[in-house]
C-alpha cells in the first residue's frame, strides 16, 4: 500500500498518532478538504506546524492518511464478518449492525467519505482507485455465490448487480447516521425514533434482504 506520510510520522507514539488523526478527521469533516486548515489541526492535536510538515508533505497527504485509516477500520470490520460463523443472512445482519455502530462511533470518517464522492474532490478520489470498493465487491460476490451453491440464495440472481445493491443499502445506511441532511431524511421516512431505534431499521432491512435474495417461505 502506498503511504501518504513521511517516516517521521511512523516513529511517533501511537497515542500521538491517534491525536493527530482525530484532530484531522474532525477538521476535514467539519469544513471539507478545501477549507480545512492544517494550522487548526496542529493546534488541536497539540503539535507544532513544523512537526506537521515533518510528518506530512501536504494537506492532501494528511487527508489521504486519514482516509487510509478509515479504510483500515472498515477492512477490519469486513474481515470480522467474512470469517464469522453463520449463513449469508447472519453475516449480512452483522454488517448492517456494524454499519450502524461504526457510523455512530466515527461520524466524521463517514462525512469525509461523503464529501470525497462529490465532484470537487474527484482528483483525490481517483488516487484511492476504488480500493475499498474492490474489497467489498469481492466479499459480497463470494458470499452470494457460496449461498447459491448452498441453496440459500436463488440461483437466478445476478451476483454482480445484487452485490452492488446490497452495498448501496449499506452505504446509504451509513450516510443516514452521518450528516444532518441524511439524519432528517431517515426520520421523515422511518419516523422520529429512527436514529435510536436500530432494531426497527435492521428488522426492516433483513425482511427486505431475505425476500430479495429468494429465501421465500417455500424455499423457491
Could you list the residues that contact a second copy (CB under 8 A)?
29-32, 34-35, 111, 114-122, 125-126, 130, 133-134, 137, 154, 156-158, 160-165, 167-169, 171-173, 175, 178-182, 184-186, 188-191, 200-201, 203-205, 207-209, 211-214, 216-218, 220
The residue (of 54 and 125) whose beta carbon lies closer to a second copy is 125
Q: Is the separation of the CB atoms in 96 and 171 below 8 Å?
A: no
**Minimum distance, C-beta of residue 161 to a second copy, in the bound complex (Å):** 3
With cell 476535514, the residue in question is: 28
For residue 66, what is the enclosing H or E element?
A: helix 59-83
**Minimum distance, C-beta of residue 115 to a second copy, in the bound complex (Å):** 5
Q: Is the separation of the CB atoms in 92 and 166 below 8 Å?
A: yes
User: For residue 130, what is the DSSP state?
Assistant: T
Judge residue 113's burial from the number of C-beta atoms within 10 Å of its C-beta, 0-12 exposed, 13-18 middle, 19 or more buried: buried
The residue (of 55 and 214) whose beta carbon lies closer to a second copy is 214
The residue (of 93 and 115) whose beta carbon lies closer to a second copy is 115
The residue (of 5 and 115) whose beta carbon lies closer to a second copy is 115
**Minimum distance, C-beta of residue 58 to a second copy, in the bound complex (Å):** 19
The residue (of 77 and 186) whose beta carbon lies closer to a second copy is 186
**Minimum distance, C-beta of residue 111 to a second copy, in the bound complex (Å):** 5
**C-alpha–C-alpha distance, residues 28 and 66, integer Å:** 9
For residue 29, what is the enclosing H or E element?
A: helix 14-35
**Minimum distance, C-beta of residue 10 to a second copy, in the bound complex (Å):** 29
User: For residue 121, what is the DSSP state?
Assistant: G
- Name the residue among 199, 201, 174, 202 with its Cα closest to residue 187: 201
Amino acid at each position: 500500500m502506498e503511504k501518504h506520510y513521511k517516516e517521521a510520522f511512523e516513529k511517533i507514539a501511537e497515542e500521538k498518532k491517534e491525536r493527530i488523526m482525530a484532530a484531522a478527521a474532525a477538521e476535514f469533516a467539519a469544513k471539507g478538504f478545501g477549507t480545512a486548515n492544517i494550522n487548526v489541526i496542529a493546534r488541536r492535536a497539540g503539535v507544532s506546524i513544523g512537526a506537521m510538515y515533518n510528518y506530512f508533505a501536504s494537506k492532501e497527504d494528511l487527508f489521504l492518511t486519514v482516509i487510509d485509516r478509515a479504510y483500515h477500520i472498515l477492512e477490519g470490520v469486513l474481515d470480522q464478518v467474512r470469517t464469522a460463523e453463520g449463513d449469508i443472512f447472519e453475516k449480512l445482519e452483522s454488517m448492517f449492525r456494524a454499519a450502524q455502530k461504526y457510523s455512530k462511533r466515527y461520524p466524521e470518517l463517514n462525512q469525509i467519505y461523503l464529501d470525497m464522492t462529490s465532484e470537487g474532490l474527484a482528483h483525490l478520489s481517483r488516487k484511492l482507485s476504488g480500493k475499498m470498493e474492490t474489497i467489498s465487491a469481492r466479499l459480497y460476490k463470494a458470499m452470494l455465490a457460496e449461498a447459491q451453491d448452498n441453496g440459500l440464495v436463488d440461483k437466478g440472481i445476478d451476483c454482480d448487480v445484487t452485490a452492488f445493491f446490497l452495498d448501496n443499502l449499506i452505504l446509504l445506511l451509513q450516510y443516514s447516521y452521518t450528516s444532518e441532511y441524511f439524519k432528517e431524511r431517515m426520520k421523515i421516512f422511518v419516523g422520529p425514533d429512527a436514529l435510536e431505534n436500530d432494531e426497527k431499521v435492521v428488522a426492516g432491512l433483513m425482511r427486505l434482504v431475505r425476500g430479495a435474495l429468494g429465501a421465500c417461505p417455500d424455499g423457491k
